[in-house]
A = this chain, B = another copy of it.
Amino acid sequence: MQVRIYYEDTDSGGIVYHTNYIKYCERARSEEFFKRGMMPFGEDKSGFVVKSIRADFIGTAKLGDMLEVTTAKIAQKGASLTLLQEIFKEGQKVFGMEVLLAYIVEGRPKRIPEELRDIL
């Protein structure tokens, strides 16, 4: 997924505000649902929630840059999965994170349904 950097994404340091990279990763996960005509949550208040992240801030991006967000699954258990999400600017990695997502239904961990296994 591509992300354009607008004024709102930057801060007075002249570059993208650090937590915004983590937001772009969330956008990329949600977009996987949207582009299939699905929503990232179910009517029974089910969905994936972020349990933990390990993030490395490697480079910087600035106003007008076009970034590329990639998402790959690196581990899957019954009720959770771990993704590697990376952000590139002209082929150079500026950010990377491992994110552990738990599948919950009404606040409780549940087994990830078959039909959602391959979306993320």
Residue of B4, B18, B19, B56 touching A31 (CB-CB under 8 A): B4
- A51: B residues at CB distance < 8 A: 56-57
The CA of A52 and the CA of B50, in the complex, are separated in Å by 17
- A52: B residues at CB distance < 8 A: 54-57
Counting contact residues on chain A (CB < 8 A from B), the size range is 35 or more
| A53 to B, closest residue via Cβ | B55
What sequence of 0s and 1s flags, for each residue 1-39 of chain A, a beta carbon within 8 Å of any chain B beta carbon?
A: 000101110111111011110110011001101100001
For A6, A12, A54, A64, the residue with the greatest tally of chain B CB atoms inside 10 Å of its CB is: A12
Q: Which 4 A-B pairs have the closest CB atoms?
A: A10-B12, A7-B11, A19-B22, A6-B27
Q: List 23 A-B contacts (CB under 8 A).
A: A4-B27, A4-B31, A4-B34, A6-B30, A7-B12, A7-B26, A7-B40, A8-B19, A8-B23, A10-B11, A12-B12, A12-B13, A13-B41, A13-B47, A18-B22, A18-B49, A19-B26, A30-B63, A30-B64, A34-B64, A52-B56, A53-B53, A55-B55
